[in-house]
Structure 1
Amino acid sequence: MKTNAHVLAVMTCSLLTAPLAIADDAAPVKSASVDLNGDGKPEAVSIQFDAPKNEFVLKAGGATLRGPGDDNEPAGVFIVDLDSRDSRKELVVRTGQTDYDQRSFIYGFDGKALKLLGTVPALTEARGNGIILSDSWQGFWNRRDKYVLDAKTGKVSEVPQDLYAVGVEATVKQSFPLARSRTDKKVVATLAQGSTIQVLAASPSSRKGEGYLYLVKSSTGLLGWATAKDLMEKTGGLPLAG
């Protein structure tokens, strides 16, 4: 089924402007009282910004921790429940001002100290099942990464993907070839000018500075790999935004 380009553009803009969807759309707070370690006693939680040092100051109970501010004051701290099977809650501090520099720092509290559990580009979704979904904009598509919270170690780690889903359409303005594989440059198809292609998936290139290689489906149903340079310079209609 073909996707209307206008719809894709609207979806893209919605993605860029949508609020952070974590813990059932919880909002960041400057201060709160919450039981973080599951002992039945709430801890006083607060966050401040030390502008001269460009650091945020996070407090929970009697513990204090400083983190990098990335040149902007965090809106607050998110209180999330990454795994509803335990009795703990986690704290998330989001820094950065764009999709390219944003980071979400995830902290746990053991009753004595705040500990960094992990860092993700953006904590887009966490619904209490130990899984974190993280979105980051890549120019004309959204990269979605998966992270999991290890119940034993208490650490957040990435689940590697060989390919990232893209799912956009474009029109060929200037003919260019598709390679047989990511490592074999032999031509499997040459895209005809004026034809419509589907960019199905992306894979980080092993070549420095090349960004991604893209798995493309031609109008004749053939699959091959294209460079980001060819897609950006020789096609039209990509849902560019940001």
Structure 2
Amino acid sequence: MRTQVPALAVTTFLLFAAPLVHADEPVKSTSADLDGDGKPEAISIQWKEGDSQFVLKVGAATLRGKADDTEVHGVTVIDIDGGDKWKEVSVHTGLTDSDASSTIYGFDGKALRELGRVRALSEVRGNAIVLSDSWMGFWNRREKYALDRKAWKLTLVPQELYYVGVETSVKQSFPIVRSRTDSAPVANLAQSSKILVLAASIGPKDKEPWYLVKSSTGLLGWTRQRDLAEKTDLPWAG
């Protein structure tokens, strides 16, 4: 016998389960209660086309900023932590996915304060966490930032590895090695075989990422980005 689930229960589950994904289009002006005093502040941003300089205004507060020689697109209002009284404003810049950036500001009732800068605002769930994606040629590097409200700062949460999860075919045989510090081969990947790129390691001194690869025979080993770029069918895109 098939059990019927009430429509209201399903709807309620979906409302609680669905992430609050940041998807608003940037605008030049809007209004919102950023400091939780019950009164909305007028929010606006001004810039000249092709100029990386901008002027952000919230109420009577003014901030002059620079977007690292990329174009300004506008602002959006977000709520990083639904458990506190504040909301935040994000300035969006960049021409492409590779140079996109969002600088996030808080307003304490008197002045604007920079909380931090992320690449893309991929998910803002209201749980004091921002998830941000950076395009890496054939995969998105997802990073987590945690809000420290006392310090008024977004802090990057370090990861040893980044998940990739992309399958491809080998065009030319190449070895995968034991570790990032041990070049002894684990296996030589066979031409035309399928491999799964599981994870990436991007150290501060690395000129290119290391990738953890699973062979068609179930063996794990590491390889450099140049081998994946030159010897596999990965769909690289800038």
| CA distance in 1: counterparts of 2:204 and 2:58, whole angstroms | 42
1:24, distance to aligned residue in structure 2 (A): 4.9
- 1:26 and 2:24 are equivalent in the alignment: yes
For the structure 1 residues 225 and 73, does the alpha-carbon distance in structure 2 shift closer, same or farther, using more than 3 Å as the test? closer
Which ranges of structure 2 fall in alignment gaps of 5 or more residues? 1-18
Percent of residue pairs bearing the same amino acid type: 60
- 1:227 and 2:224 are equivalent in the alignment: yes
Question: 1:64-107 CA distances to partner (integer Å, 9 max, x unpaired)?
Answer: 00111344542221011111101111000011112222211000
Question: 1:26-76 CA distances to partner (integer Å, 9 max, x unpaired)?
Answer: 232211222110111221111100459631110001110011134454222
Question: What code does the residue aligned with 1:67 have?
Answer: G
Q: Which residue of 2 aligns with 1:185?
A: 183
Q: 2:200 aligns with which of 199, 202, 206?
A: 202
Q: Which residue of 1 aligns with 2:79?
A: 81
Three-state SS of the structure 2 residue aligned to 1:83 is coil
Q: Which residue of 1 aligns with 2:142?
A: 144
Which ranges of structure 1 fall in alignment gaps of 5 or more residues? 1-20
Q: 2:92 aligns with which of 75, 91, 94?
A: 94
Three-state SS of the structure 2 residue aligned to 1:231 is helix
| CA distance in 1: counterparts of 2:51 and 2:22, whole angstroms | 33
The 5 A counterparts of 1:1-242 are 24-50=22-48, 54-205=52-203, 208-209=206-207, 211-236=208-233, 238-242=234-238
1:185, distance to aligned residue in structure 2 (A): 0.8
Q: Is the 8 A contact 2:229 2:236 kept in 1?
A: no
4+ residue stretches of structure 1 with deviation over 6 A?
none
| CA distance in 2: counterparts of 1:189 and 1:111, whole angstroms | 60
Higher relative contact order (CA 8 A, sep 6+): 1
Q: Is the 8 A contact 2:138 2:236 kept in 1?
A: yes
Worse overlay, 95-104 or 163-172: 95-104
Q: Which residue of 2 aligns with 1:9?
A: none
Q: Is the 8 A contact 1:23 1:128 kept in 2?
A: no
Corresponding residue pairs, total: 220
TM-score, normalised with respect to structure 2: 0.86
Q: Is the 8 A contact 1:22 1:124 kept in 2?
A: no
| CA distance in 1: counterparts of 2:154 and 2:231, whole angstroms | 40
Q: Is the 8 A contact 2:75 2:90 kept in 1?
A: yes
